[in-house]
Amino acid sequence: MLKQLYATLRLYTNFFQPTMKLKSKERFGSRVQKSYYAPQTPYQRVLACAAVAPADKKKLKRQYQTLNPAALKRELDKYRKELFRLAAKRRPVRPKRHANQKSIHIKPDLVI
């Protein structure tokens, strides 16, 4: 299931999640001013790169045409819920006890 989750996450992140890349940093005394390029997805950066072969760009464009961001997000949510369900099923939450303690006793009449 993790393999399916990561495959879907890769598509969603690389094709639909824009990121801001750092352009420059300038120090003014104790302050640092950063400037960034306009946000772009990794897919957009690959298409803009001259070093990538046109055949590879065409292949990526075909793949992009088949993707639906809303469907990918729903699929990610489905895998996430399933993962949490499996984790909760495998290891239920229990209060921690000392090694010598057989059970937890709470004294209701304890006054602080």
Residue 99 resides in a domain: no
State the angle between helix axes of 69-90 and 2-16 in degrees (0 to 180), rounded to the nearest 10: 150
Mean confidence (pLDDT) of the chain = 86
Element (H, E) at 28: strand 22-28
Could you list the residue range(s) of the whole structural domain that residue 63 is in? Answer: 2-88
Domain count for the chain, please give it. 1
Tokens of 95: 């209060």
Residue 107 resides in a domain: no
Residue 31 resides in a domain: yes
* pTM, entire model: 0.68
Tens digits of residue pLDDT in 7-59: 999 999 999 999 999 999 999 999 999 999 999 999 999 999 999 999 999 99
C-alpha distances (whole Å) from 56 to each of 15, 46, 61, 105, 111 are 15, 9, 9, 66, 73
Distance of alpha carbon 79 from alpha carbon 11, whole angstroms: 14
Task: Name the more confident of 42 and 84.
Answer: 42
